[in-house]
């Protein structure tokens, strides 16, 4: 079992959108970074849990929890010329970009990035590393447990 943090722009897919989706699950489309792709394709397993993080908004932070619920498969948007995620260099024989489906688990209290930064226990968290831009990052079991305790407060 591994733990993850997955960023989504709430304008595109928010935690509420995930909860309202058919089957309460969505394909995690649009990842165009090899490291993040490798985490999804090779690092994840069905049943892994992830924090659902809102980024690119006024106050970024953790908004809920989701669960990996499919094996990896090619991201369709890479083949759609009218999609912002279209990749002309990918082809169906050998797709570049892979994704998994994630399913809604719960909505949490909103835990802002600024609060995450205040906890010394999270000093080594990948998300908080200087200049980090990865949209999918792993968490240690300790980090996962610590954040869950903070979420249970208030």
Count of residues that interact with DNA, criterion CB under 7 A? 20
Interface pick for DNA out of 55, 90, 140, 148 (rule CB under 7 A)? 55
Nearer to DNA, 109 or 133 (CB): 133
Binds DNA by CB under 7 A, chosen from 33, 38, 106, 124:
33
CA-CA distance, 49 to 65, in Å (whole number)? 7
φ and ψ at residue 44, rounded to 5 degrees: -85, 160
Q: Between 109 and 117, whose beta carbon lies closer to DNA? A: 117
Judged by CB under 7 A, the residue of 11, 47, 56, 80 near DNA is 56
Smallest distance from DNA to CB 10, Å: 11
Q: Does 81 bind DNA (CB under 7 A)?
A: no
For residue 39, which of 102, 82, 109, 115 has the smallest C-alpha distance?
102
d(CA 96, CA 115): 36
Task: Give the C-alpha distances (Å, rounded to integers) separating 49 from 5, 21, 57, 88.
Answer: 9, 18, 23, 32
Q: Which of 19, 49, 105, 113 binds DNA (CB under 7 A)?
A: 113
Residue 50: half-sphere exposure toward Cβ, Cα within 13 Å: 32
CB distance 92 to 79 below 8 Å = yes
Q: Does 86 bind DNA (CB under 7 A)?
A: no
Tokens of 39: 């985490």
Which residue's CB is nearer to DNA, number 2 or number 96? 96
Residue 133 found at the interface with DNA (CB under 7 A):
yes
Contacting residues toward DNA, per CB under 7 A: 7, 32-35, 55-57, 60, 89, 113-114, 117, 129-135
């Amino acid at each position: 079992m591994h733990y993850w943090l997955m960023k989504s722009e709430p304008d595109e897919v928010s935690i509420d959108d995930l909860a309202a989706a058919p089957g309460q699950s969505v394909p995690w489309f649009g990842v165009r970074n090899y490291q993040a792709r490798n985490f999804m394709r090779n690092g994840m397993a069905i049943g892994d849990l992830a924090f659902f993080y809102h980024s690119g908004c006024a106050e970024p932070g953790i908004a809920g929890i989701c669960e990996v619920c499919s094996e990896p498969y090619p991201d369709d948007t890479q083949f759609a010329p009218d999609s912002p995620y279209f990749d002309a260099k990918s082809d169906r024989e050998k797709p570049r970009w892979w994704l998994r489906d994630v399913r809604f688990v719960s909505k949490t209290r909103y835990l802002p990035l600024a609060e995450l930064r205040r906890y010394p226990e999270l000093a080594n968290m990948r998300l908080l590393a200087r200049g980090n831009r990865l949209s999918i990052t792993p968490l240690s079991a300790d980090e996962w447990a610590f954040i869950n305790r903070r979420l249970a407060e208030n």
